[in-house]
Structure 1
């Protein structure tokens, strides 16, 4: 399995090349999931690879149904992202309103071409893996992840839920073992953002 380091300036091109060379498994779309623990830098990694590919990035933060919703996001990703792709359409989803504690009424659509990135814990679930062209595990040392979480723009909002979310991540990883099934490891070890 390839291992890329964000310390190597060629890593976005290498990650994009891996997806380009993989077979489409969600209809005609090649989907890369970026999975890993909070603070690993999944969002930033997804942005860099998405720029390299010129493709959209879907974020699980828009779909999780609340702070206790990690497990519940998996069927939403299947219904709102994967199933439309399998039918030749585009992902159609409702954003979660964190202030109101519910999904919005209006539907949004994410137009896709040959590639789509989905990032966030839950994207490497057993039920989703058959439809992923590449599952990437993004990781960073615990101290770097803690520093990044403390520097988030929503750090104060996130802080009361951090332990609860970490327990959900641990349970998810124990059940689904996404790192063991990853096609690619991205070591995002630099302190701060890429």
Structure 2
């Protein structure tokens, strides 16, 4: 993971003083766990979870909030303030500050969407077939979330059909039995160049 972090450190800022790193992939593919571990390797870089910007009524219609609450402040070197959504109470909470750190990770389905890509220093895609990822997500969340998952699967499939992320990924991340393997993505080279294999610690579950 530290080799990957070193590779990312060589990138120039992409949004004001910030290097925005997108971590995208299908729901259930392990984005949150991977982003957390990468953030640690980047000296505790903050992670913005797109679940905090989405809502029941707007699973993918959060672009405007992201641009106005996060991207525009970063572009001018200021602190972002976003309003996280509470999925239990179904309402947005008070603004939460997000400082313009050298690295900020944006994690979630759609982190590599068309409107966000111009501001990303690098897009990483968690490489897992969508059916396998969705099955793991359903198993994780249990029977009580089955109705939500049914709606989510349709919305995610529609989103990626209209605005795919994987073709624009600089790096592909594959979860191993223990750790990760990082390969050059569609924008990272013409062949499957191996970048780094990380085998420390227990297997990542989600």
Higher relative contact order at CA 8 Å, sep ≥6: structure 1 or structure 2?
Answer: 1
Q: 2: distance between equivalents of 1:142 and 1:125?
A: 17
Normalised TM-score (structure 2): 0.79
Is the partner of 2:16 in helix, strand or coil?
Answer: coil
Residue matched to 2:53: 63
Aligned to 1:7: none
* Higher Cα radius of gyration: 2
Indicate the residue corresponding to 2:149 in structure 1.
162
RMSD: 2.0
The equivalent residue for 1:89 is 78
Using a 3 Å threshold, how does the CA distance of structure 1 residues 27 and 107 change in structure 2: closer, same or farther?
Answer: same
> Which residue is 1:109 aligned to?
97
Q: Which residue of 2 aligns with 1:132?
A: 120
Sort the Cα spacing of 1:111 and 1:157 in 2 relative to 1 into closer, same or farther, 3 A: farther
How many corresponding residue pairs?
A: 180
More helix by share: 1
Alignment check: 8 A CA contact 1:80 1:92 kept: yes
1:119 aligns with 2:131: no
In structure 2, the gaps of 5 or more residues are 178-202
Aligned 8 A contact 1:73 1:122 in 2? no
Q: Displaced runs of 4+ in structure 1, greater than 6 A?
A: none
